[in-house]
Homo-oligomer: A and B are copies of this chain.
Amino acid sequence: MANHFHLNTPLLESVAMSKLVGTAVYLKMENSQPSGSFKIRGIGHLCQQMVRQSKGVVCASGGNAGMAAAYAARKMGVPATIVVPSSSPQLVVQRLQDQGATVKITGKVWDDANAEALRLAETEGLTFVPPFDHPLLWQGHGSMIAEVAASLGPGVKPGAVLLSVGGGGLLCGVIQGLKDVGWTDVPIVAMETVGAHCFNAAVKAGRLVTLDDITSEAKCLGAKTVCKKAFDYSQCNEQITIF
């Protein structure tokens, strides 16, 4: 097997979107990662760096981060404990269990689950897997851009990179990846859904902002506060346009 857990995913031109926009639009098919999302890049990398000395991993996430942590732990042969709030659908619990994880249901909202995950990391000697705020995550996510560069071939550079922001982990990873391949002049368009716009709110306020609530439909994909690194980038990096 390869020495990392993520796959080199297809880079596909979307004919429909290219027609709409009037220029070639490519999709990086991260949905075909074995854990179902790009999260496995950073979380796999973090686990490989940090887990060897520990008794397992713990992560508070009923979304893509939890699936990635469970998948990485299974591949490494260590136990995974995923803490989710009681609002999590049974299907999510089942999918995590199918990946061999122990699912612990704690509290009503994500913050409760995360507090329990931190407690377990401390008391049980488990490696805490943060969903988006860690340099090793960003380093792992950056591999995506190296793949895009290889797929496009020498001398071809994208006109822009579009991405979504939840907690800002993907954004930090993409900026890292663009640096790694020397594409520091490629603009980034960062998108959020209304009701989970913690990055937009922070940039407008000129400081980190914690949203009162996530009112977007995509609840488990949002964070109340964007990670500090993403905010810092927005203050000193003209590469980023935020929608």
Contact = CB atoms under 8 A, between A and B. Distances in A.
Interface string A35-55: 000000000000000000000
Contacts of A95: 15
Q: Interface size bucket, A side? A: 20 to 34
A1 interface: yes
A12 B29 contact: no
B13 A34 contact: yes
B32 A1 contact: no
A95 B18 CA distance: 13
Contact of A12 (B15, B16, B19, B32): B32
A21 to B, nearest CB: 14
Nearest to A152: B1
Interface string A1-36: 100000111101101100100000000010011100
A1 B7 CA distance: 19
A226 B123 CA distance: 64
The complex is assembled from copies of this chain, and their number is 2
Contacts of A77: none
Nearest to A13: B34
A10 B13 contact: no
A98 interface: yes
Contacts of A29: 32
A34 B12 contact: yes
A182 interface: no
A34 B18 CA distance: 14
A153 B33 CA distance: 18
Interface of A: 1, 7-10, 12-13, 15-16, 19, 29, 32-34, 95, 98-99, 151-153
Given A1-B151, A13-B34, A15-B98, 18 more contacts: A1-B152, A1-B153, A7-B10, A8-B8, A9-B10, A9-B32, A10-B10, A10-B32, A10-B33, A10-B34, A12-B32, A12-B34, A15-B95, A15-B99, A16-B98, A19-B98, A29-B32, A32-B32
